[in-house]
Structure 1
Amino acid sequence: MARAGVNAERLTLAAAELADEIGFDNVTVTALARRFGVREASLYSHVRNMRDLRVRVALFALAELADAAGAALAGRSGKDALVAFADAYRDYARAHPGRYAASRLSLDPETAATSAAVRHVEMTRAILRGYRVPESDHIDAIRLLGSTFHGFVSLEAAEAFRHSSDARGTDASWSRILDTLHAALSSWPPS
C-alpha cells in the first residue's frame, strides 16, 4: 500500500483487523508498518504512540459494538431486549475477538464520557427501565449484566468450557444464563 494511503483512520482499521488475526495485545507499530509497507517512524505522524493507537482501536470497537447492539435492540423490550443485547455482545466477541478485547481497554474518564461507551450504558439503562429496576440500582444491574456477559464470552473464547462432557454445548448454557438474568431483573430486590 502506498504511503499516501496511510492516515489515522486506516491505521485504526488495520490495527483492528490485525487484532482479530493475532490478538489485541500482540498488535505493534512494527506489524502495522509492515502491513502498510512503510517505516515505523512514518506511522507516528498519524498516531502519537502505541497507547494512542490502542485507544483508537478501543473506541472503534466500542462504536461498532454499540451499532450492533443498537440494531439488535430496535423495537424490543423486556426479555427480548435482554437476549438481543446479550447476543449482540456474544456474536461480536466471536466474530471479532481482537476488537472485543480492545473494547475492554480501560479508558480515562474524559475519553470514556465522550465515546460510544456512553451509548452502551444508555442501552443497558433502557433495558433496565423495561424491568422497572429503580434508577438508583442501575449501576449494580449494569455491572451484573456486563460482568456476566464478559465473563461468559471471555471463558468461551479461551475455550475454558471445552473440557465439559455436556453434549448440549455452550449455547444451552448461554440460554439458561439469560433466563436467569431475566428472572433476576424481573424480581429485582428493593434497596
Structure 2
Amino acid sequence: MARAGLTPQIVTSFALEVLDGAGPTGLTLKAVAERAGVAPPSLYKHVRSLEDLRVLMTLRVMDEAAARIGAAVMGLAGDDALRAFLAAFRAYAREFPYRHALLESPPPGGEHQRELDAAAGHLVEIAFATVRGYGLAGDDLVHAVRALRAVVVGFVGLELGSGYMLPTDLDDSFAFLTEILAGGLARRAAAAS
C-alpha cells in the first residue's frame, strides 16, 4: 500500500480533496491516507498530526485565496477594485466552502505560526490595497478594511449557511451591498479631505 513520492505538500493536497468532498467531520488521517493510497502510519513521515495537517491546509488555502483575490484586483482601483475583491472572495467561498471556513477560523499555528501570520498578512494587504484607492488614510483605512471584511464574510457566511430564506435574488443583494459599501467609502474619503 506504500506510495512513493509523498511530501507534506502532496499530503496537504490530498487532505484538501478530502475536506472538499467530506467536510470537516470527514477529515481524518485515515481518510487522507486512503486518498493517498498509503497506510495511516505512513502519513506521520510527512505530518505530525491532524492538527499539523490542518495548519498546512490553512496555509495553502490562504495562499490560494490571496492569489485569486489579488489577481482579481490587480490593476484596479476604487469601485472597480472593491467590486473585484468582493466578487473574488465570494466566488472562492462558494466554490470551496470548507476551505473558506479555514480562512475564518484558522487553527493555532504552533511551529508554523510565523508562516500563518505572513499568509494572513498577505490577504490583509490585498484588502488594504483595495480600499486605499478611495484615498483613505490612518485609522480610516483600518476601519475600511474591517468593514470590507465584515461585509464579505458576513454575507458569505449567511449565504453558505442558508441564512437568506427570502426569494429575492442573492446576486442582486450582493450587488446592492457592494454599492452601499462603495458609496460609504467614497463619502468617508470625501469627508476626510
Structure-1-length-normalised TM-score: 0.89
In structure 1, list runs of 5 or more residues that go unmatched.
Answer: none
Q: Distance in 1 between matches of 2:25 and 2:147?
A: 26
> For residue 153 of structure 2, what is the aligned residue in structure 1?
150
What is the CA–CA distance in structure 2 between the aligned matches of 1:120 and 1:35, rounded to whole Å? 30
Equivalenced residue count is 186
Deviations 1:113-164 (Å, cap 9, x if unpaired)? 322x222111111122211122223332222111211111111112221x21
**1:174 maps to what in 2?**
174
SS in 2 for 1:5: coil
In structure 2, C-alpha distance between the alignment counterparts of 1:83 and 1:43, rounded to whole Å = 42
**Distance across 1 between alignment mates of 2:102 and 2:19:** 8
Following superposition, which runs of at least 4 residues in structure 1 exceed 4 angstroms of deviation?
A: none
Task: Map Cα deviations across residues 8-31 of structure 1 (whole Å, 9 max, x no partner).
Answer: 111111111221112235311111
Match for residue 132 of structure 2 among 112, 129, 132: 129
Q: Is the 8 A contact 2:18 2:35 kept in 1?
A: no
1:165 aligns with 2:167: yes
TM-score normalised by L of structure 2: 0.88
Give the gaps of 5 or more residues in structure 2.
none
Report the aligned-residue RMSD.
1.8
Alignment-derived partner of residue 41 in structure 1? 41
1:140 is matched with: 143
Q: 2:16·2:57 contact (CA, 8 Å) conserved in 1?
A: yes
3-state secondary structure, aligned to 1:60: helix
Q: Quick one: distance in 2 between partners of 1:90 and 1:54?
A: 22
Q: Return the alpha-carbon distance in structure 2 between the equivalents of residues 59 and 11 of structure 1.
A: 13
Q: Distance in 1 between matches of 2:116 and 2:148?
A: 19
Aligned to 1:52: 52
Distance in 2 (alpha carbons) for counterparts of 1:113 and 1:133:
25
Distance in 2 separating the partners of 1:170 and 1:2:
47
